Amino acid sequence: MTDDCIFCKIVVGKIPSEKVYESDNIFVFMDINPLSEGHCLFIPKKHAATLHETDDASLAEIPLIIKKVTKALDIDTYNILQNNGTIAHQAVAHTHFHLIPKPSADLGLKMEWDPQDEIDQEEAAEKIRNYMN
């Protein structure tokens, strides 16, 4: 836990939340600024600013619990959002995943996609392959 992290404070109960699930590794609570009904956050209890700094046990559990929550909410259309770093729109420097139900085109996450045709992906692909071997 870090003393200045709002999500760490939520995990230990210093800031109230609408908790929906908790395990040894993760904490799930309703978003206080929801985009749609059922919008909730999934966070590791152990502080990590970004996904690549997050412990494997938490990262393994979060998708399984997201799946259970989608079934509990009986939703078929939804977004799962996870950002890393301020220029990637991460507002709280504690790894978190949003589950945002998308009941209609008017509610939920709105996205803009701007493909860059001039980017050559070969070098990045080679870096990934080399790292994985």
Residue 15 has φ and ψ, to the nearest 5°, of -125, 130
pTM attached to this predicted model: 0.93
Q: Which residue type does 130 have? A: N
Say what the pLDDT of residue 30 is: 98
Sign, Cα dihedral of 41, 47, 53, 56: negative
Give CA–CA dist 76/21, Å, rounded. 20
Say what the pLDDT of residue 81 is: 97
More confident of the two residues 83 and 110 = 83
Say what the pLDDT of residue 45 is: 98
Contact 42, 97 (CB under 8 A): yes
Residue 107's nearest CA partner among 45, 38, 60 is 38
User: Is residue 1 scored above 80 in pLDDT?
Assistant: no
| Residues catalogued as catalytic | 96
Q: Tell me the domains of the chain and their CATH numbers.
A: 6-132 (3.30.428.10)
User: Is residue 11 scored above 90 in pLDDT?
Assistant: yes
54: tokens are 């997050």
Q: How confident is the model over 37-75, as pLDDT tens digits?
A: 999 999 999 999 999 999 999 999 999 999 999 999 999
Say what the pLDDT of residue 84 is: 98
Give CA–CA dist 44/57, Å, rounded. 9
